[in-house]
Amino acid sequence: MKYIKLIEDLLKNYEYNKVRVTFLRNQIQRLSSEEENEYIRSKMLKGGYSGKVTRFVIENGKEVATLNNVEATADNYKEKIEEEYKMVLREIEQEIKQLSYDISIIDDSLELIKGINEKYYIILKQNYVHKCPMEIVAESMHMSRSRCYELRKQAVELIVKIVYGERLLLQQTAEN
């Protein structure tokens, strides 16, 4: 049952995942390397860094360059902020990778289903991907709603067999 639920969730979130990947790719472009320095600088400014050059003071008869305490502390945050920036990019890229994998599972499964049984494909595409109510799907397919639900269940089980293997589906059915 859990594999069926997993596939149903992937089907339901298919369009959302595609939109999310596009959004995340655009976000990476907004955080491009040209923006990296601006991002780091803005974080440092929020931390108290003013961007001023060092000032020179005389200590023990020698001229020494110093920053005031707040600026010196903010300047030390630069490495931490750079690492934070890189971590944000890695997290975004990891999410894109996972969502792309989920999308490809559904793309491949739908293509295979289409070759096996056109009705399965149409029902899954209309009901899950395009979010059409089953009444409308049944009407467009010229069959009863209960028959459409039955075919949808068979189609999802077929995808589970394709993705996870028939043995897992049989094992899961035996457990229930």
The CA distance from 151 to 24, in Å, is 35
Q: Which residues pair with 55 in a beta bridge?
A: 66
- Token look-up 């209960």 returns 146
pLDDT digit string, tens, across residues 25-41: 998 887 766 555 666 56
> In the numeric block, which tokens belong to residue 69?
């305490």
Domain extent, residue 22, equals 2-175
> In the numeric block, which tokens belong to residue 120?
């399965």
Residue 104 to residues 17, 20, 107, 168: CA-CA distances in angstroms?
11, 14, 5, 21
Helices marked H in the chain: 2-12, 14-30, 33-46, 69-76, 78-116, 118-124, 134-141, 145-164, 166-175
**Domain count for the chain:** 1
Report pTM. 0.69
pLDDT for the residue 168: 63
**In which band, very low, low, confident or very high, does the pLDDT at 164 lie, cut at 50, 70 and 90?**
confident
pLDDT digit string, tens, across residues 84-141: 778 888 999 999 999 999 999 999 999 999 999 999 999 999 999 999 999 999 999 9
